[in-house]
Structures are given as structure tokens and as C-alpha cells.
Amino acid sequence: MDKAVQRDDILNLLRSVESREVSPEEALKKLRAEPFTDLGYAKVDHHRSLRQGSCEVIFGSGKTPGQVAGILGDMKRNNARNVLVTRISQQTADHVAESGIGIEYHPIPRLGIAIPDGTRGAAGNVVVASGGTSDMSVCEEAALTAEVLGSRVTKLYDVGVAGLHRLLARYEELLLARVVVAVAGMEGALASVIGGLVDCPVIAVPTSVGYGANFRGLAALLSMLNSCASGVSVVNIDNGFGAGFLANRINMMK
């Protein structure tokens, strides 16, 4: 549900109490009923946007197509829009669509945007940079998350340290960023390099891309945690969603 809509609904309810159209007891009962819907397999949080500025995000991995569709159906009835559904298959996206719920599915990051209203971010500037093409699924998850939440996103893909001239050729775009998401596997050096070039926060995302001693992203994670560049923070391995969400938060700060 849109944050402004929720606030207006609550304000109208409080004004009804003030004008004595609704009793305090009735208002309390309504507010208690509003925060979530218990579907048995999920408790759908309808006050998330009021508290955090964006509606609940559905982590699709481990959920059945029916469960994802059921949660989205309840969110749709409560006026949610542009709901992010992460880590889902084409099969789940098709099931959601067959249930009468609109969804844009992006196969590379395995991410769906349910109940879309067609709007995309236009505020500030988040740059998402990747070490290599193999990191694109995580990059796209970060970029789409930030866009859906309201940020303008610039993508700089395949600009890793193995060919540093590729990154330096896009230096002007880095300087215009309010926050940079640096996505890299292997040794994860991209975050430190970018951190030494820009004056904005850098969110490092280690990926599981790499050969055996990469340990499915652990090597990149440890490298990023030990970055010598100031202003670099690190999210979990392959967590493009978390990076995109945080990047949007930073980008939207006044």
C-alpha cells in the first residue's frame, strides 16, 4: 500500500474519532485489525510502508507458486502497488499472472514486480557497477530494486579491475552518483577501487562468481570487509536486493 494512502486513511479515522462519528473503541479495533492479514502460511504486513516507506517485499525462494500468489492477492486487496518478489522462477511468475495479478518478470535476476503501476525511479542517482558480466543477475536485482523504490539508476557493467581502463572511461558517471553499488566476485577488488575514486557511500556486494578457492563468494566477502578505502559498507553474498534497498535509502536522504 502507498505510504501516503495509509497515512491518509489513519488520519481520516482519527478525525472521525474527533468528530465522534467513530468511537475510540471502534477505532482501536480497526487499527488492531489493519496491521497484518493471517493467511495461515504467512502474515502479510500492511503497515510496512507506513513504518519503512515501502511495502513488504516477498522473498520467493522456498515458497510455492500458490503461496506467492496468495500473498500478492491479499496485498492487492489492500492497495499495494509495485511489489517486489525476489528469487522466483518463470513458473511462479506465470502462476501469479494466471491468478489475475499483473506481474513483470525479469528472468536474469529472477525478480518480479507485481501489481505494477508503470512508474520507475527518477530521483537522485544510484550507480550500479559490476566486475564482470557473470555478476549481472545480482546487479539487475540491485538496480531494479532501487528503481522500483524511486531511484534513478545508472548501470556500469563489466568494468572490473582486470581492465581498469573500462572503469576509468566511465569516471564522470561515477562522480555524479549519490551512492554506488559495487558488485564483484572473484577477489572482490572493485569495491576498494571505486571507494578510492568517489566521495559518496559505496555499498559492496560480493557474489558467488569465481573458481574453487573463491568459496562461493566468501573470498570476495572477506576482501570487501577488509577494504582499505573509506566509506565502503558490505552486504551479504549475492544480496543485490539488500544493496539496492539500502542504496535507495541513502539516495533519498535530504
3-54 confidence digits (pLDDT tens): 444 566 677 778 888 898 888 888 777 666 567 777 888 888 887 776 777 8
Strand (E) positions, the chain? 36-38, 43-45, 58-59, 83-86, 103-106, 111-114, 123-130, 151-156, 179-184, 202-206, 232-234
Residue 34's pLDDT is 63
Please state, in angstroms and rounded to a whole number, the distance separating the CA atoms of residues 32 and 102. 29
Strand order across the beta sheet in which 103-106 lies? 58-59, 83-86, 111-114, 103-106
Q: What pLDDT score does 222 carry?
A: 97
- Domains annotated on the chain, with CATH: 36-119 (no CATH), 123-252 (3.40.50.1970)
- The Cα–Cα gap between 247 and 136 comes to 17
pLDDT exceeding 70 applies to what percent of the chain?
A: 94
pTM: 0.85
Confidence (pLDDT) at 37:
78
Residue-level pLDDT at 119: 80
- Give residue 9's pLDDT: 67
User: Is 249 exposed, middle or buried (CB count within 10 Å of its CB: 0-12, 13-18, 19+)?
Assistant: middle
Intervals of the chain under pLDDT 70: 1-9, 30-34, 50
- Return the pLDDT at 241: 97
Give the pLDDT confidence score for residue 14 in this predicted structure: 83
Taking CA 123 as the corner, what is the angle to CA 9 and CA 197, rounded to the nearest 5 degrees? 140
CA–CA distance, 219 with 186 (Å, rounded to integer):
7
